[in-house]
């Protein structure tokens, strides 16, 4: 009888120990799983961030936001905040909406001999504008602008008055087409033009040659090609984007 009671007690003890061991194992496994899913705050593009935009400017313009993601799904080089160490760095390529901001995406601006801070891998292209085409003088270095393109058929030409003294004339043109060419580019510098202009980029009702200005923007190779062709054969027109 005593042996039977001892056997039952031993069996109960082993059951308790086994249950405790299983519980401990499961608890540790759950802890490891939860640790892998621990949420972290990372920076993410809420809107398109053009190439050449500084990290501080992207944050100030509301182009960046934060999001909580499982740590297991976040790359080690994902940025969690704009610190002084990266605030002056610029994006080396456009960052698409919803994309994580990674440290390798930010590079130092390249300072050339003219003093222009040209983003790595980008081109500086200058275009000559009269006042209306440059948003009445409200475009400044660091502004984000859209570029519109006005063109006419190949058999026609767009003529302007010298020194921005008159409106455009469209010689031989039956139709004139205006469309958005580049949705967002960064302005690097704004300077004074030559004061006399008779090419396709002339337009103003003012008689002052001081209305002619040069605006330099940062663009990639394909965008530079488009802008150069437009300046030679059409009429570029700028629109200032909100927050610039």
137 inside domain: yes
- The residue among 116, 151, 131, 150 whose CA lies nearest residue 197 is 131
33 inside domain: no
The pLDDT tens digits of the residues spanning 153-202 come to 666 566 554 446 566 665 555 677 889 999 998 888 888 655 433 333 33
Domain limits at 47? 39-108
| pLDDT, position 148 | 93
Whether residues 197 and 165 fall in one domain: yes
Last residue of a domain, one of 108, 138, 168: 108
Whether residues 104 and 201 fall in one domain: no
The pLDDT tens digits of the residues spanning 188-240 come to 888 865 543 333 333 333 333 445 688 999 899 999 999 998 887 778 889 99
Give the list of residues 6+ apart from residue 111 with CB closer than 8 angstroms, or none: 117, 118
Contact 128, 197 (CB under 8 A): yes
């Amino acid at each position: 009888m005593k042996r039977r009671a001892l056997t039952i007690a031993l069996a109960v003890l082993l059951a308790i120990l086994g249950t405790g061991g299983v519980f401990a194992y499961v608890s540790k496994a759950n802890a490891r799983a939860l640790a892998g899913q621990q949420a972290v705050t990372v920076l993410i593009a809420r809107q398109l961030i053009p190439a050449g935009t500084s990290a501080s400017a992207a944050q100030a313009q509301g182009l960046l936001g934060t999001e909580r993601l499982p740590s297991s799904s976040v790359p080690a080089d994902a940025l969690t905040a704009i610190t002084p160490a990266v605030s002056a760095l610029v994006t080396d390529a456009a960052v698409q909406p919803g994309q994580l901001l990674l440290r390798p995406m930010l590079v130092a601006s390249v300072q050339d001999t003219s003093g222009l801070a040209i983003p790595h891998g980008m081109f500086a292209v200058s275009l000559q504008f009269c006042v209306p085409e440059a948003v009445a003088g409200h475009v400044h270095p660091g502004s984000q602008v859209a570029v519109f393109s006005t063109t006419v058929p190949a058999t026609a030409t767009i003529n302007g008055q010298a020194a921005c003294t008159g409106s455009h004339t469209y010689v031989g043109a039956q139709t004139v087409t205006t469309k958005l060419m580049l949705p967002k580019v960064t302005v690097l510098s704004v300077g004074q033009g030559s004061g006399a202009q008779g090419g396709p980029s002339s337009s103003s009702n003012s008689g002052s040659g001081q209305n002619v200005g040069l605006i330099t923007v940062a663009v990639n190779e394909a965008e530079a090609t488009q802008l150069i062709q437009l300046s030679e054969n059409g009429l570029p027109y700028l629109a200032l984007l909100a927050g610039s």
